[in-house]
Amino acid sequence: MAGRRVLIVEDTDLLRRMYHDRLVQDGYEVLDAADGLAALSVLRDQPVDLILLDLIMPRMGGLQVLEAVKADPRTKDIPVVILTNLGEESTIEQAVSLGATDYLIKNQSRPADVSEKVTLTLEAFGAGSTGADAFHVFLRPDTGDVGPLVDDVGLKRMLWCPACENELALRLVPDPGHPGHYDAYFVCNTCGREFAGLR
């Protein structure tokens, strides 16, 4: 994921440094903001590939930042992963309705978990490190061998993400060593989770 740029918007210095250090270690370019206004200032000056956004901050809260990001044509397509605490379920729902891609519970997520979420989300949004274009194919449950395939993969609900209730796509990544051949796995375009690699 070298060259991908992540903006961390978090008012707790220790958490911001922890996330920053882990993402840099994993090859990301990282920008920081300690509050919402600072985040919008960064976004005006520099392009980013993903935003990690705290909800409760001074000066401007995360929901206001999210609204501003999604209202601006220059930033509306940037995936936003919410950083939240336990007990903020209604706020999480509001953030998702405003366009947040996913969320992490801060006191349940290690820096490695945050980095993994960033990687999965960027891959789901077409910013993976394969260097090859990928295709997202949506299958219909009542055609061909889709039913047996879903059973074989072990998906509990037919072609729907068990985490966020959105439709799964079959992601096809060209195999550079074998033209016309693809690596395939199911992916949720909303939360970035991957399911059952196929070969």
Strands (E), 10-126: 29-33, 50-54, 80-84, 102-105
User: Is the model's pTM score more than 0.75?
Assistant: no
Tell whether the model's pLDDT for residue 80 goes beyond 70: yes
Token pair listed for 95: 């953030």
Residues 7-30: tens digit of each pLDDT: 999 999 999 999 999 999 999 999
Token pair listed for 51: 């935003």
Q: Are 181 and 167 in contact (CB under 8 A)?
A: no
Phi, psi angle pair for 102, to nearest 5°: -165, -175
Q: In the chain, what are the domains?
A: 5-124 (3.40.50.2300), 135-198 (no CATH)
Segment 104-126 shows an average pLDDT of: 90
How high is the pLDDT of residue 49? 94
Residues 133-154: tens digit of each pLDDT: 567 788 887 788 888 887 887 7
Torsion angle in degrees (nearest 10) through CA of 193, 21, 19, 61: -130
Q: Are 184 and 134 in contact (CB under 8 A)?
A: no
Q: Which helix (H) or strand (E) holds 112?
A: helix 111-124
Q: What is the SS3 assignment for 135?
A: strand
